[in-house]
Amino acid sequence: MHSIETNALTLSYGDTIIINELDVKIPKGEITVFIGSNGCGKSTLLRSIARLLKPKEGSVLLEGNAIAKLPTKEVAKQLAILPQGPVAPEGLTVLQLVKQGRYPYQSWLKQWTKEDEAAVTSALEATGMQDFAERPVDSLSGGQRQRAWIAMTLAQKTDIILLDEPTTYLDMTHQIEILDLLFELNERENRTIVMVLHDLNLACRYAHNLVALKDQKIFAQGKPEEVINCSLVQNVFQMNCEVTVDPLFGTPLCIPHGRGRCIVKEVGIVNG
């Protein structure tokens, strides 16, 4: 069963083709991560799936329905997107931000309800942000801000969450914190999560399904342990590397070649 599919999807900015006749299926209830070199179209593909970018040709299907033909509020009830580097208006509190996630459920006839209140409370609790509810978003740390934005997407109560580079500008501790949160949401609530990530090793650790993009197409797709190898990294990223096994998780671990210090040990030389 697939939450999202694209059929012969072609995306462009002006006359420049970014994605060309791409067919991809996003498994339901899994974490899918788009990987690839800068400018390969990862974020463009994610924006098109969220109906933020109109295809030049082809289509995107959401639960079997052409997303272009669905009402905007109906899409927002099925799919939430967190773009890269979102910015909240100055002075907006975490609670006010998270409440915006309930916009798809509001109308002239249906105002704020107990269901809306419960959704907001649940989202704050799930992200550990309940104690920050009255704090301005712009006063928070990078990791806390990202949690606040994720809480807003959770308040939408969608089965599908799209995130464009959710760990950008975060230090290592906060990167793991955010990815652990998303992993737990998938495990606990069976949410379908689709992300763009630059860190290949973190992508391998958290993804059930990787989609590697190159030359406007899918170069490879599948479980990280099935598709990540030295040849793929060289072809997709133009980087020589060694691929071994992550000692903690058993997932592929990419060790790039390059220059650096050499530490001499009794057993030999370990290249840094």
Q: In terms of CATH architecture, what is 1-70+159-271? A: 3-Layer(aba) Sandwich (3.40)
H-run or E-run covering 212: strand 209-214
Token pair for residue 9?
Answer: 């999807």
Q: Which long-range contacts (CB under 8 A, 24 or more apart) does 176-183 make?
A: 177/143, 177/147, 178/143, 178/146, 178/147, 178/150, 179/205, 179/206, 181/126, 181/127, 181/147, 181/150, 182/31, 182/150, 182/206, 183/31
Two tokens at 220? Answer: 């490879």
pLDDT of residue 272: 42
In the prediction, which pLDDT does 5 show? 95
Span 102-113, pLDDT tens digits: 999 887 777 889
Which element (helix H / strand E) includes 99? helix 94-99
Other CB atoms within a 10 A radius of the CB of residue 167 amount to: 24
Retrieve residue 67's tokens.
């997303």
Render pLDDT for 38-97 as a digit per residue (tens, 0 to 9): 999 999 999 999 999 999 999 999 988 999 999 998 999 999 999 988 888 999 999 999
Mean pLDDT in residue range 152-161:
93
CA neighbor of 209 nearest in space, from 15, 25, 64, 67: 25
Domain spans in the chain, listed from the N-terminal domain onward: 1-70+159-271, 90-158
The widest CA-to-CA distance across the chain, in whole angstroms, is 76
The C-alpha atoms of residue 210 and residue 224 are separated, in whole angstroms, by: 6
What does the pLDDT look like over 111-144, one tens digit per residue?
Answer: 889 999 999 999 999 889 999 999 999 999 888 9
Cα 5 from chain centre: 16
Contact 128, 147 (CB under 8 A): yes
CA dist 207 → 188, 198, 226, 228 (Å): 15, 13, 12, 12
Pairing relation of β-strands 2-13 and 79-82? unpaired
Alpha-carbon radius of gyration of the chain: 20
pLDDT over 80 at 264, yes or no: no
Q: Which residues contact 263 (CB under 8 A, 6 or more apart)?
A: 269, 270, 272
Residues 163-176 have a mean pLDDT of 89
Query: What pLDDT does residue 266 have?
Result: 53
Burial of 87 (0-12, 13-18, 19+ CB in 10 A): exposed
* pTM of the predicted model as reported, rounded to 2 decimal places: 0.90
Query: For the chain, what is the mean pLDDT?
Result: 92
Residue 10, classed as helix, strand or coil, is strand
pLDDT in tens, 187-242: 999 999 999 999 999 999 999 999 999 999 999 999 999 999 999 999 999 999 99
Region 2-29 average pLDDT: 94
